[in-house]
């Protein structure tokens, strides 16, 4: 493992002063700038929002079920005071 680390360090040192290294730095800067304009979110932020959405859906389903239970007795208890026109 130490051999690979040494080899990587030597190759990086050799390439650090080449046009390829300058191109890599420029490309990295360009990509960083473009990603900043895209207003991307992190995976952590996305996961948090997914959990919030799941909890909201659960609450909505519970509230819909509760409203449905409350509406059933009131619909059957409504007196029929209006008679159809003859």
Q: Which of 13, 14, 15 is nearest to 23 (CA)?
A: 15
User: For 14-64, what is each residue's pLDDT tens digit?
Assistant: 777 778 777 778 888 888 888 888 888 889 999 999 999 999 999 999 999
Distance CA 70, CA 54 (A): 24
User: For 58-83, what is each residue's pLDDT tens digit?
Assistant: 999 999 999 999 998 765 555 555 55
Tokens of 30: 């360009």
Question: Coil, strand or helix: which one is 86?
Answer: coil
- 21: Cβ–Cβ under 8 A, 6 or more apart, which residues? 15
């Amino acid at each position: 493992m130490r051999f690979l680390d040494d080899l990587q360090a030597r190759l990086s040192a050799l390439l650090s002063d080449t046009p390829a290294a300058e191109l890599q730095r420029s490309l990295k800067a360009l990509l960083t700038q473009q990603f900043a304009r895209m207003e991307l979110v992190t995976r952590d932020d996305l996961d948090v929002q997914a959990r919030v959405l799941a909890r909201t859906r659960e609450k909505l389903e519970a509230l819909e079920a509760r409203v449905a239970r409350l509406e059933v007795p009131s619909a059957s208890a409504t007196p029929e005071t209006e008679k159809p026109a003859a």
